[in-house]
Structure 1
């Protein structure tokens, strides 16, 4: 029975095929069709209007952007003063090239540095150029050709800084300033291997004491030898003859 219903044409469903066509026939490019009356009136009115000439440009877009860049921005001046203040009052400054890094990871690094009394900052080339122009820090300008960051600290914790940033491969050390002296990457890392100030002072004191005791010992050597010789002559017989006399007495016995 089911096969009978399947064979009936009235129960079959077929999807129609639709084909959209804009024009009834092909478009004649050489003899186009005349526009509608309303459209023809709009075209005629538009053609009858006078054409306005385009105003001549006095300056190009590049020159306009250059003029806008030359205008002094008060906010840039404020940030430049802040950068100069950091440079003037920091005993330790580290310059790092900053690769692509997540903000969460960067925040963790900033927190770790802040616990060690270090501050992670990032400034643009224009701000740094305005801050160091005409100062003794002008030599750091070539370090700001790409995206980078700066670490400021009022204490000379070079080793601590390297231990924190070594775990962040996105931060690449470029150079550093320690006690107003610009150091390269290798010099900066070699400075971290040096002992502390108190340890160096202790070594210096030890060396000076050793030198002083050496001089005193050398000065007293001749006096002690002279006293020993006088003591031997005062006793009447040299010490070297005592063992010989004792041997002769043993032989006679």
Structure 2
């Protein structure tokens, strides 16, 4: 009696995939949402998109979009920033995955959130597009976490769609937590900056003042600053020395 030819692993997998029926399992959508953060004038600011369709018509949402079949999560987040804020080459990091059932009344949607950091000039340029800028109001201290509010230039609350208040709050919590051990603060500044400007960014992120002398000593000893050999110009006080960040990362 002849033996049946032994099936190779590749042939077995090909047959399995050919007969595989994905309709046996529930389907859901995957989206990315991006919290774009800037720090200036004593506030953290973010970019919002007014919703002119249901659900949450008349409210505001973070820039986002559904994941395409042929792209990675990071590519999707990069696409969202490019298409909705005309931004490329900025600091971008995955934040958290939000998957509470019912977070989107249309269908089951899993959102992978990212946060992006830019300096004031690039943020203002992005805000000139068909989007809305808002200032973040954090009702908790330290790294407690929780939802936050976003207000307009007159201090009026901008209602946020879906669970985006939680996503913005998570971004603030992450920023505060990383400020002392990762160089995220530099991503909120221009190419060159003074120590006072760096201090103000840290205070804005933390939501509290820091000791000027100890902050400067710590920053100068960190190895993250590089003196430019130049000073401020066009100021009506003694020009301060300009520094740059020794290492920048972007996508």
TM-score class normalised by the smaller sequence: under 0.3
Pick the structure with more strand per residue.
2
TM-score, normalised via structure 1 length: 0.20
Larger Rg: 1
Provide TM-score, normalisation by structure 2.
0.20
